[in-house]
Amino acid sequence: MPAIMWSCGPLNGTGGAEDQPLCQHLHLVLSAFSLLYLVAGVPVGLGYNALLVLVNLHDQSSMTMPDVYFVNMAVAGLVLSALAPVHLLGPTASGWALWGFGSEAHVTLLVLFNVSSLVTMYSTALLSLDCYIERALPRTYMSSVYNTRHVCGFVWGGALLTSFSSLLFYVCSHVAARIVECSKMRDAQAADAIMVFIGYVVPALAVLYALALISRIRKADTPLDQDAGRPDPSVHRLLVATVCTQFGLWTPHYLTLLGHTLLALRGKPVDRHHLGILLFAKDVARFLAFSSSSVVPLLYRYINRNFPSRLRRLIKKMHCGRQSCSQDQAGVQQVMA
């Protein structure tokens, strides 16, 4: 299936002249939102994700389990923010492409996008499960920062391994048919099916299971339980907001992959009208997926009560330097004495 982004080309010649004005209007709206995201959303995503990573790495002693997962999502968000201009200004944007790339570059960018999406979805799912463990067993070390860091390392490794199987399908769907090993694997729909199941269905079931368990615990809470080292209430609000945002923005992307796979399984050629609708839905879904890299760090910034003070400490330390800050602290201690 050719990649035709922000274009009404597939609708030409269908005989549906009444669909052309609507398609053109949708094309203009989507292009305007894309440019707006390129000008404002990408810098916000890069800036806030970088700040989230720097603040937590600078003050690792005060990091909590949710902070580790949000750092993991922030790193994936940095990759998505860096890839967004490539997709918005690349050859897939047929109406206003500024540059072009070959099939190798296309596959590489697609794999990077898939790895970032897998890290994002599984970090969200594991955050939900660990929040349940921390709420049910607050004095255990099962959901400690140390264990969470190792889990996040496995998430990146698993995302790379999962994307490798998809990489084989994507590569074989772009290279020449003379390669015998690829003659039986020239099917990009198989890669989409793998991504839908592993990248969406599995983490979605894990999140639903974790939220159901957390809701049962919240209903059974007593005032004594709430004072016995329970997590901060803002953590639960941040968890719910993050889960709703991530799955709300990524669900359309995986639904379009599923729709693409189901249409391919029919074995019938897709008419140009339905092809145009599918490509437009795919463009909108990809735009929403990229926007998650800017929305989630903003949620972390405004819901996490500790982040603003930690950010101020980092800025103050960068502004005054180690020596002057230490001298100021010594002077304050002398005055207090």
User: In this structure, is residue 53 part of a structural domain?
Assistant: yes
pLDDT at position 69, please?
94
Which of 271, 187, 319 has the alpha carbon at shortest distance from 19? 271
How far is 205 from 90, CA to CA, in rounded Å?
A: 35
Residue 35 maps to a domain: no
Asked whether residue 10 is assigned to any structural domain, the reply reads no
Tell me if 325 is assigned to some domain: no
Task: Assign 284 a pLDDT band (cuts: 50, 70, 90).
Answer: confident
Task: Say if residue 100's pLDDT is above 60.
Answer: no
pLDDT tens, residue by residue, 123-133:
999 999 988 88
- pLDDT, tens only, 161-177: 887 766 776 666 655 55
Q: How does pLDDT run across 224-277, given as a tens digit for each residue?
A: 455 445 556 778 889 999 999 999 999 999 999 898 888 877 766 666 767 777
Residue 324, pLDDT above cutoff 60: no
85-90's contacts with Cβ under 8 Å and 24+ in sequence apart are 85/38, 85/42, 87/5, 87/286, 87/290, 88/34, 88/35, 88/37, 88/38, 89/38
Count of domains observed in the chain? 1
pLDDT on residue 128: 92
Rounded Cα–Cα distance for residues 329 and 302 (Å) = 29
Return the top range by mean pLDDT from 40-54, 280-294, 318-332: 40-54
Task: Say if residues 131 and 214 touch (Cβ distance below 8 Å).
Answer: yes
The predicted structure's pLDDT at residue 306: 85
**Do 307 and 94 touch, CB atoms closer than 8 A?**
no
Composition of the chain by helix, strand, coil, percent to 5: 80, 0, 20
| pLDDT given at position 188 | 64
Q: Is 93 helix (H, G, I), strand (E, B) or coil?
A: strand
Rounded Cα gap, residues 64 and 62, in angstroms: 6
Q: What is the average pLDDT score of the chain?
A: 78
Distance between CA 128 and CA 186 in Å, rounded?
37
Rounded Cα distance between 16 and 328, Å, is: 74
What is the reported pTM?
0.81
Burial of 228 (0-12, 13-18, 19+ CB in 10 A): exposed
Give the integer Cα–Cα distance in Å for 1 and 8: 15
Nearest to 122 by CA among 195, 204, 196: 204
CATH number, domain of 181, equals 1.20.1070.10
* pLDDT confidence of residue 9: 53
Question: Does residue 160 fall inside a structural domain?
Answer: yes
Domain, as residue range, for 254: 42-93+100-219+232-313
Element (H, E) at 157: helix 145-172
Asked whether residue 105 is assigned to any structural domain, the reply reads: yes
In a domain? residue 36: no
Bigger pLDDT: 200 vs 20: 200
What are the Cα distances from residue 66, in Å, to 163, 262, 335?
Answer: 25, 37, 38
The pair phi, psi for residue 252, each rounded to 5°, is: -60, -35
**Would residue 13 count as lying in a domain?**
no
The Cα 231–Cα 113 span in angstroms is: 33
Cβ 84 vs Cβ 46: under 8 Å = no
